[in-house]
Chains A and B, each alone.
Chain A
Amino acid sequence: MAPKKSTLPFVLIVLFALFLAIGINLGEVSSVLEKAIRVCLSCMGIG
C-alpha cells in the first residue's frame, strides 16, 4: 500500500515559520526578554 502523504503539515510549517519571522522582525524577541529578566511576582503568587 502506498504511503498516504499530506501537504497540510508542510503548509503549516511554512505558515508558522512565517509567523516566527514576522514576530522577530517586529521586535517581539526583545519584548520576551524584557519580561523574562524581571522576577514575575504573579508567577510566584504574590503579584
Chain B
Amino acid sequence: MPQLHGNRVMLILRRWIQILATVLSNAYWKFPFTKGIYQGNLKAVCVPGLNCYSCPAATGSCPLGALQNFMATLRPRFGAGHTHFGLYVIGMLGLIGSLVGRMPCAWLCPFGFLQELIHKIPSPEFEIPKPLTYIKYILLGLFIFILPLLVVDEFGYGITWFCKHICPAGTLEAGIPLMLLKPELRELIGILFHSKLLILALFLVWMVVSRRPFCRVACPLGAIYSLFNKVSVFRMTHDPDKCTLCGACYRDCPMGVKFYENANHYDCIRCLKCYQESCRFGAISYEVAGIPLLKALKRTAETDAPME
C-alpha cells in the first residue's frame, strides 16, 4: 500500500495540532492591557506539555512546576495537616503516559514545537551523544523531587529547583515577557537571571544544529513520559522481515532514534514521521492495546479499493 506511506496527511495534522495546542496553552491575550498573568480557574488544570504558568498568556499550569511545588511545600503542608503529595499531577501524567507514552512531546508541547521550528534554519547537523540523553533522568530525580523536598529553609519550605536554575521555557515564556511588561522587575535582575538567559541562549543555538536538544537532554517532563513508552496502550511496532536497515527512519527522526534497534525507545515521541514518510518498506507500524492499526487500515483500504 504505497499510498499509505506516501501521503503527508498525518504530518500536516500534527503540525496543526501543535499550533492549536500552543495557542490554547497561551490563549490569554489580554495580558498587554492587564500587565499581569491569567488568574482564572483554568490554571488549576495542568497542560500536558512544557509551558510556564507564569507566561503572561498561559491559560493552564505547568505540570513540572506544579510537581516541584508539591515537593517544596510537602513538609509544611504535612505539618498543617494537609496530605498533599502531588497525586493530582502524578496521576494526570501517569494516565497520559499509560495511554500514549511520550506522544504529547510531539503533538502537544509548545516548547517541542519551538525546537522543531528553530531546527528548520539551515545549518550543519550535529548528533547528540547518547550519554547526554540520560541527563534528563538525573534532572528529573534531583531537581524535580529530591532537592525541592530535602533542601528546605527554617520553615520547611523548599524551592522549585528546575524552574529557578534551569528551565529555558520559563525564561523565554515568563522571564523575558514579564521583564518587558513590568519595568519594576528589572531592578531585581541578578546573576541568576543572567545564568538562565545563558542556558536559554545555549539551547536556542543548539536547537539550530541538533534535533530537539532540550527534549533529548534536559526535559524532565519528557523523561516522565518516556518511562511509559514500552508499556503504553499505544505502541510502535517494527517488522524485521520487511526492514532493510536503510536508516531512513533515523535520518528523518526529530529525536534521532534508530527505530530498527528499538521500536519503543525512550526518546521516541510517536510523531509518526518514520511511519508516514520515511519507511518505504512497510516495516514500521503501530498498535493500540495490541491491535495493529496499520493492518486494520490496510484491510480498510483493500476493502475500499475499486473492483477490477
Contact = CB atoms under 8 A, between A and B. Distances in A.
Nearest to B37: A39
B22 to A, nearest CB: 18
B278 interface: no
B160 A40 contact: yes
A3 B292 contact: yes
B21 to A, nearest CB: 18
B68 to A, nearest CB: 9
Given A9-B231, A30-B44, A40-B65, A22 B91 contact: yes
B171 A44 contact: yes
Given A3-B287, A43-B65, A19 B54 contact: no
Contact of A39 (B178, B196, B231): B178
A17 B95 contact: yes
Given A9-B233, A13-B233, A20 B95 contact: yes
B83 A45 contact: no
B182 to A, nearest CB: 8
B91 A23 contact: yes
B131 interface: no
Nearest to A21: B91
B160 A23 contact: no
Contacts of A41: 188
B190 interface: yes
A9 B98 contact: yes
- Choose among B52, B73, B91 the residue with the greatest number of A CB atoms under 10 Å from its CB: B91
Contact of B175 (A12, A31, A45): A45
Contact of B36 (A15, A31, A32, A39): A39
14 contacts: A9-B233, A18-B91, A22-B87, A23-B86, A26-B87, A28-B89, A32-B66, A37-B37, A40-B160, A43-B54, A43-B170, A44-B171, A45-B171, A46-B190
Given A23-B89, A31-B84, A45-B196, 6 more contacts: A27-B84, A28-B86, A32-B89, A40-B52, A42-B164, A44-B171
